[in-house]
Amino acid sequence: MFIDIKHEQICFFKAWEQFIATGELNPGTIRTEIADSWQRCYTAQVDPWADICHDILNTQQLKDLRSQNHELIDIAHPFMVRLYKFVAGSQFIVILADNRGFIMDLLGDDETLFNAAQLNLVAGSNWMEEKVGTNGVGTSLKLKKPVQISGSEHYCRYAHRWTCSAAPIFNDDGQIIAVLQLSGPMQSAHLHTLGMVVAASEAISDQIRVKRQNEELRLLNSRLIDIFQTVSDGAIIIDNRAIITESNPTAQQILGRQLVGCNINDVFEPSRQFDELLWASRAFADLELQAYGSRGALYCLVSGKPITYSDGKSNGAVIFFNPIHKVRSLANRFSGAEATFHFNDIIGQSEGIRAAIQVAVKAAANTSNVLISGESGTGKEIFAQSIHNASPRREGPFIAINCAASPRELIASELFGYVEGAFTGARRGGRPGKFEMASGGTLFLDEIGDMPLDQQATLLRVLQEKKVTRIGGDKVIPVDVRIICATNKNLLEEIEKHNFRQDLFYRLNVILVSIPPLRERPEDIDLLFNYLLQKISKRLNTPVVYVEPGIKEYLQKYNWPGNVRELENVIEKMVILNNNQTLSLKSLPSGIAALGSASTANTVYTNNLSNNTNSRAEGMSALLAERQTIIDLLKSHNGNISKVAREMGLSRNTVYRKMAFYDISRTQSFD
């Protein structure tokens, strides 16, 4: 039964004319999904009077598109052929588009394809809504469901003579990977056309799923054959009685014993996951279990995957495992639990910073505990990472924990870990602590002065015994960790206040590295400014070509309570607020600008009048003469500050200060 479209299309066309003219619709005149689509097209400024699709891939791009989707096209094409047979001779075409709206394949008789080509309805054209307005492909992708769009329901006038029935094609993850569409003359719209397209798209999805399952079976079979030669993990195969039938060389090497013929529960501590793996075909991953090797017990991370018959019954399982220290070392490296800073990353040439680096370098040469003291923002973690990277433990993990940031009730679980069920909210399978994760490397305890007293006693015991026991557990786990601590507090004062244990202090304070605050090393501000400016402007992709004279002098007069971290924040703000790739004095925070302005102006004024105090007139005359001298020298040396400074016998910074005082700019000097 064909749809009686005459009266309906007249109403649709009037609604379309009203919307195109006014951007408004009378309620109930068209379907909500069409009204919403028109609104999206209107907002996207789609031209309703456009005569063709304009977004078309070139020959190479279309070739690449088809190549990338060749498996999908190969699966879909037979279904497209079957669908076309139902409509052959009726001026309908079958279209397959990708999830971006680009047509990858289409079928139809020559005349229909020719007519479609007049609208650029061809392979490689893009039929997303924002490109060509409301249509089957684009609207189905937006709605993520089947849709039929006929006649004046299309947003663009040229498509009003078409009817389109489209349905998305989904993969196993529920994601749209393509759209199937049947397009033809508007007067041939049929109630069952959309149903045919939906059935075909579902059949394509089913075929994709079947092919994927077959591929998984093939890959699993290949994996089982090649696993013993290619996998670096320990791997064993068990039958449905939990008896080991095969093991690879790595498994033999890890455990150092004969495995074939043993029950899995004699190799690993018994676990219900093994039972569920065999009887419920329930896979598991990253289960921490104790294994029994020839050299004693060791902790391993174990994963299991069931092997089943076609009816789902168990046929055994494949089990992978690795010593947990090896897995954690790899995980730490890829999760960022490694040190990235080195001593050459520490910026500064002041006596204080060089003394701190010298002590830190000596500390790196051994494995003694280190205490780093310094105010917040001085770069204590940079020193800690540099010590680690220069130490014999550089290949091991670098694990950091902020003792002040961790809640009091969770600091113990963070440091020492916990077993499953140790407390409400404990993660299934338990969790290793920072000491275990840092084994073989360095544990950095930042803000150690804020650690609760009760946990300080536990920490002291771990440092003495080099063993941890997880919260709620009874297994003793040996750890090999180098401790570096940092604090912004005076721990001796904290000891007197009974906030810090004296015995723990002496255990940690083997080597003390004291980092001076930024206010005590103003000579480093110039180096830090240049380094941070380059780093920040590169990160923000905001180049800075010129820095107004006097900025660094202003910064050197400031007290910097937040130290290097505050300096970095100030520079970042200035870079963001820069004008025409120039850092200006106006971008300085008001507190710094006010302090620097008064001090700098007074210094410059005093220097210029020191030899001319006899009269105000002589002083002004000298100032004007010096100003003109600077302008003349800048002109003669094309604005080269170094040459001007050399000829005047001054430093470059002094020349910059004088230019700021006399209100001389480089561009002005060439006028």
- Check which CATH number belongs to the domain holding 309 and give it: 3.30.450.20
pLDDT of residue 595: 64
Distance CA 482, CA 371 (A): 12
**pLDDT (tens digit, 9 = 90+) per residue, 436-453?**
888 888 999 999 999 988
CA angle at 266 for the pair 469 and 301, rounded to the nearest 5°: 50
295 and 383 fall within a common domain: no
Q: Is residue 427 domain-shared with residue 295, that is, in the same domain?
A: no
Query: Among residues 354, 360, 342, 371, which one has the least CA distance to residue 448?
Result: 371
Taking 3-state DSSP, the helix, strand and coil percentages for the chain, each rounded to the nearest 5, stand at 50, 20, 35
Does residue 317 contact residue 278 with C-beta atoms inside 8 Å?
yes
Query: Helices 641-648 and 616-636, interaxial angle, to 10°?
Result: 130
Residue 420 tokens read as 């499953």
Q: Ramachandran region of residue 87, left (φ > 0), alpha (ψ -120 to 50) or beta?
A: alpha
The reply to whether 136 falls in a domain is yes
Considering the domain boundaries, does residue 225 fall inside one? no
pLDDT band at residue 351 under the 50/70/90 scheme: very high
Let me know whether 612 and 663 are in one domain: yes
Mean pLDDT of 12-36: 90
Among 472, 493, 516, residue at a domain's last position = 516
pLDDT in tens, 225-240: 776 666 788 999 999 9
- Domain shared by 146 and 239, yes or no: no
Does residue 25 carry a pLDDT above 80? yes
Same domain for 492 and 566?
Answer: no
Distance CA 502, CA 62 (A): 74
Are 572 and 503 members of one domain?
no
pLDDT at 460 over 90: yes
My answer on whether 35 and 182 are in the same domain is yes
CB 278 within 8 A of CB 316: yes
The sign of the CA dihedral 482, 488, 493, 497 is negative
Q: Do 558 and 600 meet the contact criterion of CB atoms below 8 Å apart?
A: no
Residue 133 to residue 124: CA distance in whole angstroms: 17
- Per the structure, the count of domains in the chain is 4
Q: Are residues 68 and 197 in the same domain?
A: yes
Give the pLDDT confidence score for residue 603 in this predicted structure.
43
CA separation for the pair 25, 440 (Å, rounded):
70
pLDDT (average), residues 172-186:
92
Q: What is the pLDDT of residue 667?
A: 55
Provide DSSP, 468-497. EE-BT---EEE---EEEEEESS-HHHHHHT
- Residue 56 is classified by DSSP as B
Least confident residue range of 117-121, 154-158, 219-223? 219-223
Joined tokens for residue 95 = 């279209």
C-alpha span between 152 and 16 (Å, rounded): 7
Q: For residues 295 and 493, which has the higher predicted lDDT (pLDDT)?
A: 493
Q: Is residue 1 part of a domain?
A: no
- What is the domain extent for residue 469? 336-516
pLDDT tens-digit readout, 363-404: 999 989 999 999 999 999 999 999 999 999 888 889 999 988
Q: How far apart are CA 374 and CA 380, in angstroms?
A: 7
- Determine contact, residues 93/184, Cβ cutoff 8 Å: yes
**C-alpha span between 473 and 475 (Å, rounded):** 6
Q: What is the average pLDDT across 553-559?
A: 88
pLDDT band at 353 (very low <50, low <70, confident <90, very high): very high
Tell me, yes or no, whether 239 lies in a domain: yes
Provide the token pair at 149: 């769009």
Per-residue model confidence (pLDDT) at position 337: 56
Residue 219 lies in a domain: no
Same domain, 343 and 449: yes
pLDDT digits (tens, 9 = 90+) for 269-319: 888 899 999 988 899 988 888 888 887 778 788 999 998 887 778 889 999
Where is the domain boundary, 210, 242, 258?
210
Q: What is the pLDDT of residues 462-480, one digit of tens each?
A: 999 888 888 888 888 888 8
Confidence at residue 329, expressed as pLDDT on a 0 to 100 scale: 56
Give domain status of residue 221, yes or no: no
Please tell me the least confidently modeled range out of 184-188, 245-249, 486-490. 184-188
**Which region, left, alpha or beta, applies to residue 89 given φ > 0 means left and ψ of -120 to 50 means alpha?**
left
More reliable by pLDDT, 340 or 513 = 513
Task: Identify the CATH number of the domain in which residue 536 sits.
Answer: 1.10.8.60
Alpha carbon 26 to chain centroid, angstroms: 46
Same domain for 157 and 243:
no
Q: What is the DSSP string of 287-310?
A: EEEEEEETTEEEEEEEEEEEEE-T
| Tens-place pLDDT, residues 240-264 | 999 999 999 889 888 998 999 999 9
Predicted pLDDT of residue 325: 64
> 187 and 48 share a domain?
yes
φ, ψ of residue 577 to 5 degrees: the values are -90, 5
Say if 11 falls within a structural domain: yes
End-to-end CA distance of the chain: 85
pLDDT of res. 51: 80
Residue after which a domain boundary falls, among 177, 210, 243: 210
Q: Which residue has the higher pLDDT, 548 or 423?
A: 548
Residues 198 and 223 sit within 8 Å (Cβ to Cβ): no
DSSP 411-449: HHHHHHEE-TTSSTTPPTT-EE-HHHHTTTSEEEEETGG
Tokens 């991370």 found at? 301
* List of residues 6+ apart from 180 with CB closer than 8 A: 76, 79, 80, 83, 94, 95, 96, 166, 167, 169, 197, 200, 201, 204
**What's the whole-number average pLDDT of the chain?**
85
* 330 domain-assigned: no
Q: 440 and 355 in one domain?
A: yes
Handedness of CA 511, 517, 522, 527 (dihedral sign): positive
Distant-in-sequence, close-in-space partners of 394: CB < 8 Å, separation ≥ 6: 339, 388
Sign of CA dihedral 628, 630, 634, 637: positive
Dihedral, 647, 648, 653, 658 alpha carbons, nearest 10: -130
Distance CA 184, CA 164 (A): 7
Q: What is the CATH number of the domain that holds 441?
A: 3.40.50.300
pLDDT over 50 at 615, yes or no: no
Q: What percent of the chain has pLDDT over 90?
A: 49
Judge whether residue 201 has pLDDT over 90.
Answer: yes
**3-state SS class at 317:** strand
Give the whole-angstrom CA distance, residue 631 versus residue 641: 11
586 contacts 400 by C-beta, under 8 angstroms:
no
Contact 435, 391 (CB under 8 A): no
